Chains A and B, each alone.
Chain A
Amino acid sequence: MEKIIAGKQIDVTEEGFMTDFGQWDKTVGEALAQESSIQLTPRHWEVIAYLQDQFKQEVPLSIRKIGKSGVLDIKEFYALFPNAPLKTATKIAGIPKPVSCI
């Protein structure tokens, strides 16, 4: 489906995950964060950049792996993106949430 956010048209899944990372920019990220009631700080942006970098390298993401990355620990990840941090953070970063094969 299509959605207008921050004045831009983006393609998203029914759950609101972007399907074309090429359509993402920082203003889109800001607007997506607002939808999740998150106020982005410089620390949030560092984490988002890390997740996007992993996505580009096709590295599968998991919370434990992020905790071992040296970028941040898991406690901080939960503090920055409460409840389901990986789901929320990937949504804001414009990348797919981690999935299984079905």
Chain B
Amino acid sequence: MKRLVILGAGTGGTMMANHLRDKLPQSNWEINIIDERTEHHYQPGYLFLPFDIYIPEDITKPVADFIPNGVRWVNDAIELIDPKEQLIHLGSGDRLHYDILIVATGCRIAPEEVEGMKGAEWQKSVFDFYTFEGALALRNHLRNWKGGRLLVHITEMPIKCPVAPLEFAFLADHYFKEKGMRDQVEIVYVTPLSGAFTKPTAAATLGHLLESKDIKIESDFAIAEVDNERKVIVDYGGRELSFDLLVTVPTNKGSDVIEKSGLGDDLNYIPTNKATLQSKAYSNIFVIGDASDVPTSKAGSVAHFEADILTENIIRFINSEPLQEEFDGHANCFVETGGGKALLIDFNYTHEPVEGTFPFPGVGPLRLLKENRMNHMGKMAFRWIYWNMLLKGTPIPFVSTKMQEAGKNFVQA
């Protein structure tokens, strides 16, 4: 009997458990999935919590509901990975041997990386919305907030879902309009990049969105410090921005256990072959989702497309066949723009998001990089798809693992 161990029962790990239990014979392969959490969160829902669009119950379900029969769920902390001995050390003191390991430990916010960020004003006037607790605390704060200067801020790239802060700014604009207090709120989008939109087509087609919603932009801002007393953020060049409310996306890092186990880079991401998803250091370790260092967006949709290719590659690895170099960095995301509208973007390692039709070339029904109500309905429907199809490994009709080039308006080089 051989053993495959999956670390982490989030989006990537749960999908892999479901895919592999179908593919690996139970007589030969035991599958274990380890996670200390008992609740599974629909993380895209964190964006909607602060604005009272979702309630906590919409975005949390028991982990156990999504672990298939025939997979052993180990509800324990992961203390250490010993890749030489092929052992996982657990919080209970137990050790678990593996033949194949899939790391799906994700990433987390690390506000402690910036001086003063987790200071006296943390969850008083400085908030994150990339955690359940942060989004909820921000919701409670916003319900009574009297207005002032709101900074929506990104610390540094890469972050999980790079468009979420932009969506936050758009939803905030709408939220304050609905409350009849938009004239008392100044919204400023602060980014370390050269602009809110950094890809040429998106910049050209979407640049007007910020202006039309009266959202100001401060670009090339590399934060050095949060000054809690003066309520300003300071960048390395000495530039200062004052705030009444700072909503920040802190530095994102891989799990601490990756660092402790000596498997990560300086942000605790595991060096991973971007086409096969095999770890570069150990051939029997594979990585899915945010835990890897592959150069694409950190997002659930990436993990979803990775899962199909990783499943194939695990089977090939077991059969001693060469791995398929197939993952193209595909991501597909709905982007909320406020007021009941959204955009849809579809892109990969080599192709930027462009205009076009999706999923059927020339037909749609969804339009890429266009703001409309249908895309918003798609975003809202996606929560159901996530709980009922995506986690269980059910293929989503007409959405291919690799990005399609047909139906997209690429500029011919």
Contacts and interface: CB of A to CB of B under 8 A. Distances in A.
Interface of A: 13-15, 58-60, 62-65, 67-68, 74-75, 77-78, 82-87, 97-102
B152 to A, nearest CB: 14
A99 B240 CA distance: 23
B274 A58 contact: yes
30 contacts: A58-B295, A59-B293, A62-B192, A63-B156, A64-B155, A64-B156, A64-B251, A65-B266, A65-B267, A68-B266, A74-B236, A77-B236, A78-B236, A83-B220, A84-B220, A86-B220, A97-B198, A99-B198, A100-B197, A100-B199, A101-B162, A101-B163, A101-B199, A101-B296, A101-B347, A102-B162, A102-B163, A102-B206, A102-B345, A102-B352
A83 B163 CA distance: 25
B197 A78 contact: no
B220 A87 contact: yes
How many of chain B's residues touch chain A, expressed as a range?
A: 35 or more
Q: Is chain A's binding surface mostly helix, strand, loop or mixed?
A: loop
Contacts of A100: 157, 162-163, 193, 197-199
A73 to B, nearest CB: 10
Contacts, number: 86
Given A63-B156, A64-B156, A87-B194, 11 more contacts: A15-B194, A62-B156, A63-B222, A64-B251, A65-B266, A83-B237, A100-B163, A101-B297, A101-B347, A102-B345, A102-B352
A97 B345 contact: no
Interface string B172-202: 0000000000000000000011100111101
A96 to B, nearest CB: 9
Q: Which of A58, A74, A82, A102 has the most CB of B within 10 A?
A: A102
Nearest to B239: A83
A36 B246 CA distance: 33
Interface string B217-254: 00110101000000000001100000000000001000
B102 interface: no
A98 B197 contact: no
